[in-house]
Structure 1
Amino acid sequence: MANGRRVHSTEWVDPSDVRIYKARVHAIADSEDSVFASYDCQHGENCILMIDKSTMRVSSEIGRMPGNSSKNMVPTKLTYVSDMGILLGSSVTSGAFGFSGYIRLWDPRTGNVVWETNEPGSGRSSRFGDSFADVGVDLDELLLFKICSKSGDLAVADMRKLSDDPWVYLKEKNPSMRNVGGNNGDNFVIHCYRKQVFIGREGELEVWSRVEGNENEGIASEEMYRRNYVDKVTDSERGVIKKLEGGWDRLFVTREDVEGIEVWQSSYNSGVVAVL
């Protein structure tokens, strides 16, 4: 009530108002002086808010979208690429017609999109119909990775040379290590850490490492990386991998419907320790 009159709420949002009400946070990234957080609201609108670390106040808004289609859904992954001064966001959704999503790069200073790709439908992918299921960023090498939802293949793109179709699909020379189908795109997870690419396929945990002698070669090499398994068969039977995160010389793994966290430590005799 206000001055004896009932005030009715409305779903309308002022485009000039950077605040978002009744919102959920989906992803967070940070730079030296700012924090980036992607939000979506009950009415479907979403955006990324840039928060100043010194004042803890919103300094700007990036990429407000209606969220009614796969191309406009809230970013579920955010990464700030400090060497390039850009913010990378991605979103993937799946349904009866397969996977779809986008990868988008913003300039936080202007809020403008500097590069983007949409799968399927953008016409930029040489593998139409094999949309990505997850995306990862190697901040050390400035490389962008995606894993395909149908084939399970891993592709890489140089972030300094992005084009309409920048992807190079990596090939494994060892026949025993090659993919046998894509399993299920719902259960692919990518995480880049210390110049390596870790992938969870269902319950299996694998790593792609740079091949010695290819450090200075061009990005167009299909054999730049070599694939290997991190775990054993008994480890892969614990459950579907849902989240990967690296820290120091350890890799942290969570699995679907499994309590606790697995901690993998890098060593010649690597193993897993369950942390409850």
Structure 2
Amino acid sequence: MVGDIRLWDVRASSTVPVWGVREKDDCFADVAASDSLSALFKVGAASGEVFMADLRRLSGDGTSVDPWVCIGDGQRAGAATASRRKDGNGCRIECYRSWVFVARGAYAEVWTQVEITSEPGEKKVMRRNWVGNGPSMVTADGEEMDKIVSWAFGGGRMALARVDKRSVEVWDSASGTISGE
């Protein structure tokens, strides 16, 4: 599997992309861009892991340096790529404000940027949290949750729909607003 990602400057009259990359190893299953984090995020089709590329550091045609940094489990990503697995099939990724949401089958995770030093503006890393109970999410009846098929974001809420369900789940952040604004 091979995937191309290309970026254009909408202010330019040229139809030639300003940056592009052709992926061969852990091609993307889904890609999203975040204005507030100045980054591209992808879910690897082989590994299902989350990768990040800093938009401020992209240069040239994208062929000389791999822009992706695995913010998930790097060892798992390497093993999945080597064995040609397809753990990322069906995964979805979406950026909303300063959060990055990933749907993996029946559960969702959210990635946020946190500072790891006491000095403001110093070292920042991405951390993962689960929406709900994570991969072991079960209903009150003890049944496994159904696959997430659609989601939408607005204000401090996320609404999601599951396969074969006639209801919508609405997740509200504790403060009613997304932090980091």
Instruction: Answer yes or no: same fold by TM over 0.5.
Output: yes
With over 3 angstroms needed to count, the CA separation of the structure-2 counterparts of 1:171 and 1:190, relative to structure 1, is closer
Aligned to 2:159: 252
Separation (CA, whole Å) in 1 of partners of 2:98 and 2:38: 10
Structure 2 letter corresponding to 1:119 = E
**What TM-score, normalized by structure 2, do the two folds share?**
0.71
Aligned to 2:178: none
Structure 2 letter corresponding to 1:211 = V
State the Cα RMSD in Å.
3.0
Tell me which of 56, 61, 71 is aligned to 1:170.
71
Q: What is the count of residue pairs matched by the alignment?
A: 154
Q: Which blocks of at least 5 consecutive residues in structure 1 are unaligned?
A: 1-98, 121-127, 173-177, 269-276
Encode CA deviations 1:152-206: one digit per residue, 9 max, x unaligned: 221111112114311111146xxxxx89977732220101112111111111111
**Rg larger in structure:** 1
| Paired residue secondary structure (1:112) | coil
Could you say which structure has the greater relative contact order, defined with CA pairs below 8 angstroms and 6 or more residues apart?
A: 2
Aligned to 2:34: 138
| Paired residue secondary structure (1:186) | coil
- Any conservation in 2 of the 1:106–1:114 contact (CA below 8 Å)? yes
- Larger strand fraction of residues: 1
Aligned to 1:265: 172
| Alignment pair present for 1:114 and 2:48 | no
With over 3 angstroms needed to count, the CA separation of the structure-2 counterparts of 1:119 and 1:242, relative to structure 1, is farther
Tell me which of 214, 221, 228 is aligned to 2:129.
228
- Any conservation in 2 of the 1:187–1:240 contact (CA below 8 Å)? no
Q: What's the offset of the Cα at 1:240? A: 1.4
- The equivalences for 1:78-89 within 5 A come to none
Separation (CA, whole Å) in 2 of partners of 1:105 and 1:142: 14
Aligned to 2:4: 102
Q: Which blocks of at least 5 consecutive residues in structure 2 are unaligned?
A: 176-181
- Any conservation in 2 of the 1:188–1:201 contact (CA below 8 Å)? yes
Aligned to 1:197: 100
**What TM-score, normalized by structure 1, do the two folds share?**
0.49
Separation (CA, whole Å) in 1 of partners of 2:121 and 2:31: 24
Separation (CA, whole Å) in 1 of partners of 2:145 and 2:43: 22
Structure 1 letter corresponding to 2:45 = S
Encode CA deviations 1:193-230: one digit per residue, 9 max, x unaligned: 12111111111111111123367347xx7xx1111111
Separation (CA, whole Å) in 1 of partners of 2:171 and 2:4: 31
